[in-house]
A and B are shown apart, each in its own frame.
With several copies, the nearest count.
Chain A
Amino acid sequence: MIDKFVPSLTEAMAGIADGATVLIAGFGAGIPDTLLRGLLAQGARDLTLVVNAAASEEGPVAELLAAGRVRKVMCSFVRAASTASRLQREGRLEIEMVPQGTLAERIRAGGAGIQAFYTPTAADTVLAEGRETRVIGGKLCLLEHAITADVALVDAWEADRWGNLTHRATARNFNPIMAMAGRLTIVQTRHVVALGTIPPQHVQTAGVFVDRVLHVPEGDAA
């Protein structure tokens, strides 16, 4: 019987190696906060984080950064008053700025087996300096490579034992595409449902993309 549930946060986070690239889903809502605390406890170092925003001085992403566990962040948004900016100024962190749509598309491409694509986004900006551009269909386009990752940390509203997921409202955001792009996709879910509870046409992230699921009841942070 396929059963992707794991009984503890420790087991959920087992095996993440030093040097791993980690996708962190969420955009205001849908952040896998318990798994992030698990990553902090798990100890892997020299990480590359792919996350929409590194804008804060608080929360588990900032804590991972402050603990010196991260080599590089790929994101669309940083603030001056953030741990990421401070570490970058100190020469202790590399930040790669990626337009948010390009970030989403690169992650989807990684999950979908597309190696690279051409997009007009950012093609005539400083982000394109020194990189390959080409005019296609009359539009200047920039070559962007797919992002795949060793690990994806994903939040869900409901999960079944095959790893089929739903995400509530705008907590969907990066979760389905990051689940696709992680070689090891770890999910925290608010609710556990029996197989078949989620109608086939309403599955938002199919279990084929999911490796481990941890039940984190709402309000329970451990």
Chain B
Amino acid sequence: MIQGRDRLAIARRIAEDIPEGWFVNLGIGMPTAVSDYIPPEREVIFHAENGVIGIGPAPAPEEADPYLVNAGVQPITLLTGAALVHHADSFAIARGGHLDLCVLGAFQVDEAGDLANWAHGLTEPTRQIGGAMDLAVGAQRVWVAMEHCTKAGEPRLLPRCTYPLTARGVVQRVYTDLAVLEVTAAGFAVREMVPGLDFATLQSRTGATLQRG
């Protein structure tokens, strides 16, 4: 039995790859935890769609300020050096190419780098576009954090997304519970597997054909 990374371990793994000085937006859900694993001496500046540049650690519950929340409407603190702007200015940052990285959750990613993360289908009543379409096309880099398969065991890494797209050809890397993969011209290239996992097993859990290393 392979011990895959849990959600926090995926976030921690992503944090390892973010260098000092980057401006980064973290999507709602799994990506939000990434900032918890950036060592304090490494200055990385996190952005939220609702106008925060420089999110600090989560406050103790009794110190939460209802006027200070992130894009998931969770209480936050501000780093020393933070800035606050309005929503259009905040998305000017996201859409204008000023974010070095955006980490998003996804339902599906395909080997062309297409991203599907807002609906399971067009008639589905839950439609969580939020800022994902803006971030996906606007950020310099898009990394995805997600489970390798659905709870039902269906692959999420596909030759072609079947859910409605968020954006086309934008994903550069995918971090899952099982592996780190890069989207290349030849498709998904496996950069890293969790200990004990072999390539054939990873391939069996993946809808698209994987490239070695």
Interface residues, chain A, with chain B CB atoms under 8 Å away: 1-2, 27-30, 76-80, 82, 85, 88-89, 97-102, 104-105, 107-108, 110-114, 119-127, 157, 160-162, 164, 167-177, 180, 195-196, 198, 200-201, 203-204, 206-209
Contacts and interface: CB of A to CB of B under 8 A. Distances in A.
Contact of B87 (A2, A164, A177): A177
Q: Give the 9 A-B CB pairs with smallest separation, nearest first.
A: A101-B134, A113-B95, A101-B91, A28-B73, A112-B92, A203-B83, A85-B125, A196-B80, A99-B133
Nearest to A29: B67
Nearest to A165: B83
B125 A88 contact: yes
Given A78-B126, A112-B95, A170-B52, A125 B167 contact: yes
B178 to A, nearest CB: 28
Nearest to B136: A121
A99 B131 contact: yes
A90 B96 CA distance: 38
Given A101-B91, A170-B67, A125 B164 contact: yes
Contact of A77 (B52, B82, B94, B130): B130
Contacts of A28: 50, 69, 73
Contact of B98 (A107, A121, A126, A209): A209
Interface in B48-62: 48-54
A174 B49 CA distance: 11
Contacts of B207: none
A89 B125 contact: yes
A160 B167 CA distance: 36
18 contacts: A29-B68, A79-B125, A79-B128, A99-B134, A100-B129, A101-B91, A102-B133, A112-B92, A112-B95, A125-B133, A126-B122, A168-B67, A169-B67, A170-B48, A172-B85, A180-B92, A200-B54, A206-B83
B134 to A, nearest CB: 3
Given A125-B164, A170-B67, 8 more contacts: A27-B87, A28-B69, A80-B125, A99-B133, A101-B94, A111-B92, A123-B137, A170-B69
B86 interface: yes
B84 A105 contact: no
Contacts of B92: 108, 111-113, 180
Contacts of A76: 129-131
Contacts of B129: 76-77, 97-100
B171 interface: no
A206 B43 CA distance: 16
Contacts of A196: 80-81
Interface of B: 20-21, 23, 43, 45, 47-54, 65-71, 73, 78, 80-88, 90-99, 122, 124-135, 137-138, 164-168
B21 to A, nearest CB: 5
B167 A101 contact: no
Given A108-B88, A113-B97, A114-B95, A169 B65 contact: yes
Nearest to B80: A196
B96 A180 contact: yes
A111 B96 contact: yes
B27 to A, nearest CB: 12
Contacts of A29: 66-69
Contacts of B52: 170
A195 B23 CA distance: 17
Taking each of B67, B97, B166, which has the highest tally of chain A beta carbons within 10 Å of its own beta carbon? Answer: B67
A84 B132 CA distance: 21
A126 to B, nearest CB: 5
Contacts of A101: 49, 91, 94-95, 131, 133-135, 138
A162 B53 CA distance: 11
